[in-house]
Amino acid sequence: MASISLRKVLKHYGTGASAQPVIHGIDAEIDDGEFIVIVGPSGCGKSTLLRMVAGLEEISGGEIAIGPRVVNDLEPAERDIAMVFQNYALYPHMSVFDNMAYGLKIAKVPKDEIKTRVDKAARILELGHLLDRKPRQLSGGQRQRVAMGRAIVRQPQVFLFDEPLSNLDAKLRVQTRLEIQKLHRELGITSLFVTHDQVEAMTLAQRMIVMNGGRMEQFGRPETVYARPASTFVASFIGSPPMNLVPGDAGPDGLTIGARTLALPPGAVSPVQGPVTLGIRPEHIRVLAADEPPAPGHWPLFVEMVEILGAEHLIYGQLGGQGSERPVVVRTDESVPLPEIGSTLQLAPRTDRLHWFSAQDGRRIGD
């Protein structure tokens, strides 16, 4: 096992005037045995970063260390890592056992050692009864487990996963996610796991790196990233449905949006006066009961759409009444009666769950 250090890691494709910067200087210290998820939208540089750690991609600047060793100039085979990809690419003509054993055979590991390691991996992954099958006789989830088995038997210092679950259907994804968690508990191997799925990131990560356009927007524990997002980007990327972001002008009476001023809930103050973006998650807004009188700090919502998702309802509408053009979403449970489209509800946002972001660069302001 080993720690991983990323120090001012840069990447550009091409040279000279045609150089395309892709990773703009990433710093992160990953502890020995940690499970880190790298999450961000398509094209933000997740795979590039992972491939640089693997040694499959050269780095254009900075330093990567695995344990005490700087690995910038080491070949992938010398880095003591194992990678699991989205396309598990098993050898179709080989049995499950041989697929897992292949890398060890090439490395001339003695036969009985190979058997011990494959049997152990098969036990952990519950593949013991499938060792004689060919890949075509397996389900997608089982194939993905074989691909993980192939990585486990190598007993690497570091696991690198690049969207290993994205070919699986939703149910199997959840199941395999649990297996990966179990695997990490048992083996405790330092892992970097890439995904663009924020639910996967939240549930798997001990800490997560949120990337945007080749930059690290935030590096922290999932509960911190959710509770105190570092920017509007993180706020709208993590959480489903995303955080409501309401740009306005903060003044003594509250937040002015167009022609209307919304009073803030009691105890809430904007950390700045003037242009600012207010954030509040859909689950941190309460809908007032019909017989509850609205008070200062309650906001009217003109209801435009309702989504019924079973245990919860999502109510979409415009804040400050009809025509304010600030769509927001509120999450309620079945206990709240479904509103009529076109009606106006009163909302009570939670004072302790308001977020404030700079109108200039979207960074979090205050605490």
Ligand X SMILES: Nc1ncnc2c1ncn2[C@@H]1O[C@H](COP(=O)(O)OP(=O)(O)OP(=O)(O)O)[C@@H](O)[C@H]1O
Please give the residue ranges that form the binding site for ligand X (CB under 6 A): 13, 20, 22, 40, 42-48, 196
3-state secondary structure of 163: coil
Closest residue to bound Mg ion by CB: 47
Residue 332 pairs in a beta bridge with 313
- Whole-number Å distance between alpha carbons of 144 and 25: 33
177 binds, among Mg ion, ligand X, none (CB under 5 to 8 A by kind): none
- Whole-number Å distance between alpha carbons of 101 and 94: 10
**Binding characters for Mg ion, 2-41, by CB under 5 A (x = yes):** ----------------------------------------
- Phi and psi, residue 96, nearest 5°: -60, -45
Minimum separation from the CB atom of position 34 to ligand X (A)? 21
- Quote the tokens at residue 211: 């990337």
Residue 48 or 324 having the CB closest to ligand X: 48
22 binds, among Mg ion, ligand X, none (CB under 5 to 8 A by kind): ligand X
Minimum separation from the CB atom of position 246 to ligand X (A)? 29
Residue 45 or 282 having the CB closest to ligand X: 45
Contact status: 195 vs Mg ion (CB under 5 A): no
CB 200 within 8 A of CB 238: no
Burial-class residue 208 by CB neighbours within 10 Å (0-12, 13-18, 19+). buried
CB 50 within 8 A of CB 160: yes
42 binds, among Mg ion, ligand X, none (CB under 5 to 8 A by kind): ligand X
- Whole-number Å distance between alpha carbons of 166 and 184: 19
117 binds, among ligand X, Mg ion, none (CB under 5 to 8 A by kind): none
Length of the chain equals: 367
Nearest to 35 by CA among 210, 203, 166: 203
Minimum separation from the CB atom of position 164 to ligand X (A)? 12
- Whole-number Å distance between alpha carbons of 74 and 327: 51
Contact status: 48 vs Mg ion (CB under 5 A): no
Which one among 47, 99, 142, 190 touches Mg ion, defined by CB under 5 A?
47
Q: Which amino acid is at 104?
A: L
- Angle (CA) 235-238-241 rounded to 5° is 90
CB 201 within 8 A of CB 221: no
Residue 47 or 190 having the CB closest to Mg ion: 47
Per DSSP, 273 falls in state S
Give the binding-site size for Mg ion (rule: CB under 5 A). 1
Minimum separation from the CB atom of position 200 to Mg ion (A)? 14
196 binds, among ligand X, Mg ion, none (CB under 5 to 8 A by kind): ligand X
Q: Where are the alpha helices (DSSP H) in the chain?
A: 46-54, 96-106, 111-124, 140-152, 170-187, 198-204, 222-227, 232-237
Part of the chain binding Mg ion (CB under 5 A), chosen from 4-12, 42-50, 78-86, 210-218:
42-50
Residue 82 or 303 having the CB closest to Mg ion: 82
Minimum separation from the CB atom of position 56 to ligand X (A)? 11
Residue 6 or 131 having the CB closest to ligand X: 6
Q: Which residues bind Mg ion (CB under 5 A)?
A: 47
